[in-house]
Amino acid sequence: MGARRFTRKSNWGRIVKSGMGGFLNPPGHPEHEYSVHSVYGDTFSICLSSAVTSEWLNDEVRTQAGGLLKRWESNKPALDSPEIQDWICQVMGYFRDCYCGQDQGGDISWNVSDLRIGLDTMAGNPIDPILNQDIHAGVNFIRKYYPEFKLEQRHVDAAYWGSKKE
């Protein structure tokens, strides 16, 4: 209650059962099912991870959003589970041939608009994702949830987006 006294009413939020963002997140991740919406009107809608870091949002909902994310983190499926291995193949398919780029200031950037796509592929010299996994966008994304992930050839060979290869 005390936190609301210092938060403008237009910045009060609540967690709702409606996913937002995170379509690539791992199976069972709470952002598939929950997001934060404004209490008073349609002034904002944000994903849970953005809610946690939004200083302008009321403290209660930031804490609740953080709790949902922490619960998933402490109970997430094992890296070697079949559903996570399939998710890895999907992420690798989505980010096929995508590598880190630079922003306008010349700093390393993982922003999708800065990614380098198909380095040297058109010249017939595709970059090896195994040897260059630390700059691969798919590996970077997977490591947000599974920092211990190491890309293997089987992931590259089974990578897909859309319909699974049979």
Domain that holds residue 27: 2-75
Task: Examine the fold and report which residue of 17, 52, 75 is the final residue of a domain before the chain moves on.
Answer: 75
Task: Give yes or no: residues 102 and 42 share one domain.
Answer: no
Instruction: Please tell me the pTM assigned to this model.
Output: 0.85
| pLDDT attached to residue 58 | 86
**Does residue 6 surpass a pLDDT of 60?**
no
105: amino acid identity, one letter: G
Same domain, 152 and 94: yes
59 with 89, same domain: the answer is no
- Examine the pLDDT at 67 and tell me if it is beyond 90: yes
Is 41 in the same domain as 107?
no
The predicted structure's pLDDT at residue 91: 97
Residue 141: inside a domain? yes
How many domains are contained in the chain? 2
- Inter-residue contact 137 to 99 (CB < 8 Å): yes
pLDDT at position 121, please?
57
Q: Does residue 7 have a pLDDT over 90?
A: no
The answer to which of 35-44, 53-62, 135-144 has the lowest mean pLDDT is 35-44
Closest Cα partner for 110 from 24, 18, 29? 24
User: Of 75, 102, 136, which closes a domain?
Assistant: 75
Residue at 145 is within a domain: yes
Residue 165 belongs to some domain of the structure: no
Walk across the sheet containing 45-46 and list its strands.
Answer: 13-16, 35-38, 45-46
Asked whether residue 8 is assigned to any structural domain, the reply reads yes
Let me know whether 150 and 110 are in one domain: yes
Q: Of 54, 75, 96, which one is at a domain's C-terminal end? A: 75
Average pLDDT over residues 4-15: 68
111: number of CA atoms within 13 Å, CB side? Answer: 9
Task: Tell whether 102 and 151 lie within a shared domain.
Answer: yes
71 lies in the same domain as 92:
no
> In this structure, are 70 and 89 located in the same domain?
no
Residue 97 and residue 36 share a domain: no
For the chain, what is the mean pLDDT? Answer: 88
Torsions phi, psi of 13, nearest 5? Answer: -125, 170
- Report whether 90 contacts 161 (CB < 8 A): yes
What pairing do the DSSP bridges indicate for beta strands 35-38 and 45-46?
A: antiparallel
